[in-house]
Amino acid sequence: MVFALLFLAAVIGGRAMGAGSAVRVAREGFARRAEALTRALLENPELLAADYVRKLAAVTGGGVAVFTEDGIREAPKGLVERAKRGLVAAMSDGTAGDVETEGGLFLSVPVKSHLLVRHIFIRYPERVLSPPPMTAREKAEAALLALAAGLVAAFLLHLFYVEPQRVLAKAAGRAVEQSSTDLPYLQARGPIGDLARSFLSSITKLKRAQKDLLASEKIAVFNQLTVAIAHEVRNPLTAMRMTAQVLRRKLAGDAQALERLDVMMREMDRLKHHMDQLINFGKPYKPEMRQTSVVEVIEETLLLLRRQLEHARITVVKSYADNLPHVFVDPVQLRQVLLNIIINSMQAMAKSGTLTVSAGLAKVEGETVCTIAIEDTGPGIPAEIRERIFEPFFSTRKAGTGLGLAIAKKIVEAHGGRIRFVSTDKGTIFRLFLPISPKGRRLTEVPTSSFKPLEGSDEPDTGD
């Protein structure tokens, strides 16, 4: 496109230069002829001043003003009315050559003769000052040049703008259909590069909106199902457990029966736990906030899970920063978050391993926040499912509900915090970021600089 404009400018400029050159040549030729004619006429001793002026004006065709000792003679009349000031100044200076005045451009010729002529001014005729009219051939050439410039401009416009936009629009449509972010021209400069990056941003936002919409639709359908499940399963389950407790008292001396009843009650408790998760997930979270020691909540959670941790041969390592302030949270819901994450970590370490739980402070968005980290030594989360681990009902285990991490994320965000994770084949670490005070700002982004990565990892996965 730029080349076409330069080409067109060169054509127009060349044409203008050609016209200007023609005018200059015409002026120079006229000046030579006029000066020669003036000299010739002045050599005629019989020629009177009035006749001299009329004859010179007729021959040159532009008008003549002659300054003599007796005054000014001019032809045609009124010639020097507007030009007089400029002509008098030129005569006083003895200027020879072109003189620009309000009455036009004059050729100045200072002379002395028997006619007592002191200065002659000959006005350039319009035909000399205007470019010559274009011939038919010149018009045809100009038209062809304009057509060529237009074709070149159209070709370059198509090559650098229209075609890239078509390719980009097609790629964007394909990217939306295939949930891909592979677009051309992302590194390009100029409007096409800006358009490509704008498309990428829009596609990313669209994918996120579709993901949120799908999750919302799942939750909406699920809320309807949980009402029926609560009445049809939870109430009979409570009656069954009470009956099992009565039987346990009656069969106190039968060790084998008690063992079977204990298995039955544990399974009913597990089923009740899943039911509670299902029902609570469909409800809005309204934390009952109060000043809470996160260390106490962590210790209570680990105490609840102590037998399970010992049975799984998992070693617990604890690390708490000194003088941690109390945090404004709902301790019951925070305990639920820790339970869900720790149980998830225990399931990842199937045979044995080390669970590290730590709490401290960090600077996020210029504000001091409380951080709780839970790190395991499991095989890590596969890269292909890391973006989905917080989705409701997504689970890689057959017996899993897919709600543990989704509930944890929902609770943390209801507290104005954020949950992040990083995972490699060395293990996974989840970290909670919670505002300390009730007036603390809701966290929008947690920079990776505030996240301690695992050994062997390059960048943390945010899980968003």
pLDDT at 222: 65
pLDDT at 444: 56
Q: Point out the domain boundary residue: 86, 101, 129.
A: 129
Question: What does the chain come to in residues?
Answer: 464
Q: Cα separation of 455 and 436, whole Å? A: 29
Whether the CB-CB separation of 359 and 444 falls below 8 Å is answered with no
Assess if residue 70 is contained within a domain. yes
Q: Cα separation of 341 and 352, whole Å? A: 17
pLDDT at 396: 77
Assess if residue 295 is contained within a domain. yes
Q: Point out the domain boundary residue: 99, 129, 159.
A: 129
Q: For the residues of 7-63, what is the DSSP string, one character each?
A: HHHHHHHHHHHHHHHHHHHHHHHHHHHHHHHHHHHHT-TT--HHHHHHHHHHHHSS-
Tokens matching residue 383 = 């890269």
Q: Point out the domain boundary residue: 97, 129, 161.
A: 129
Whether the CB-CB separation of 66 and 116 falls below 8 Å is answered with no
Residue 180: phi, psi to the nearest 5? Answer: -115, 160
Please state the domain count of the chain: 2
Assess if residue 100 is contained within a domain. yes
Assess if residue 207 is contained within a domain. no
Assess if residue 413 is contained within a domain. yes
DSSP β-ladder status, 71-75 and 64-68: antiparallel
CATH number at 345 reads 3.30.565.10
pLDDT at 1: 46
**Angstrom distances, CA of residue 136 to CA of 25, 139, 141, 237:** 22, 5, 9, 103
Q: Which domain holds residue 101?
A: 2-129
Q: Cα separation of 362 and 73, whole Å? A: 100
CB 89: neighbour CB atoms within 10 A? 12
H/E run at residue 340: helix 331-348
pLDDT at 280: 65
* Tokens 């051309």, located at residue: 184
pLDDT at 399: 66
Distance, first Cα to last Cα, the chain: 43
pLDDT at 137: 81
Torsion over CA: 71, 76, 82, 85 (sign): negative
pLDDT at 83: 84
Assess if residue 48 is contained within a domain. yes
Q: For the residues of 116-133, what is the DSSP string, one character each?
A: -EEEEEEEPPHHHHSPPP
Q: Cα separation of 361 and 356, whole Å? A: 17
Residue 293: phi, psi to the nearest 5? Answer: -85, 115
* Tokens 């000052």, located at residue: 129
Residue 221: which residues within 8 A CB-CB, separation 6 or more?
none
Q: Cα separation of 63 and 34, whole Å? A: 11
Residue 455: which residues within 8 A CB-CB, separation 6 or more?
424, 426
Of the candidates 297, 355, 352, 293, which has an alpha carbon nearest to the alpha carbon of residue 328? 293
Residue 406: which residues within 8 A CB-CB, separation 6 or more?
281, 390, 391, 392, 393, 394
CB 428: neighbour CB atoms within 10 A? 26
CB 5: neighbour CB atoms within 10 A? 13
Of the candidates 166, 104, 168, which has an alpha carbon nearest to the alpha carbon of residue 130? 104
CATH number at 49 reads 3.30.450.20
% helix, strand, coil for the chain, step of 5: 55, 15, 30
pLDDT in tens, the chain (464 residues): 444 444 444 445 445 445 567 677 777 887 887 787 777 777 766 566 677 777 777 777 778 888 877 778 888 888 888 888 888 888 888 778 888 888 888 888 887 665 567 788 888 888 777 766 767 887 788 788 888 888 888 888 877 777 777 777 777 677 666 666 677 777 777 777 777 777 777 777 777 777 777 766 766 676 666 666 666 777 788 888 888 888 888 888 888 888 888 888 888 887 777 677 666 666 666 778 899 999 999 999 999 899 889 999 999 999 999 989 999 999 988 998 999 999 999 988 978 899 999 999 998 877 889 999 999 999 999 988 888 888 877 787 776 777 788 889 988 988 889 999 999 888 999 999 999 887 655 655 554 444 444 443 333 444 44
Tokens matching residue 14 = 């060349």
Assess if residue 105 is contained within a domain. yes
pLDDT at 49: 65
* Tokens 């709780």, located at residue: 372
Residue 398: which residues within 8 A CB-CB, separation 6 or more?
none
Residue 376: which residues within 8 A CB-CB, separation 6 or more?
345, 346, 348, 349, 353, 354, 355, 356, 427, 428, 429
Assess if residue 309 is contained within a domain. yes
| Amino acid in the structure at residue 255 | A
* Tokens 């390009």, located at residue: 188
Phi-psi region of 187 (alpha: psi -120 to 50; beta: other; left: phi over 0): alpha
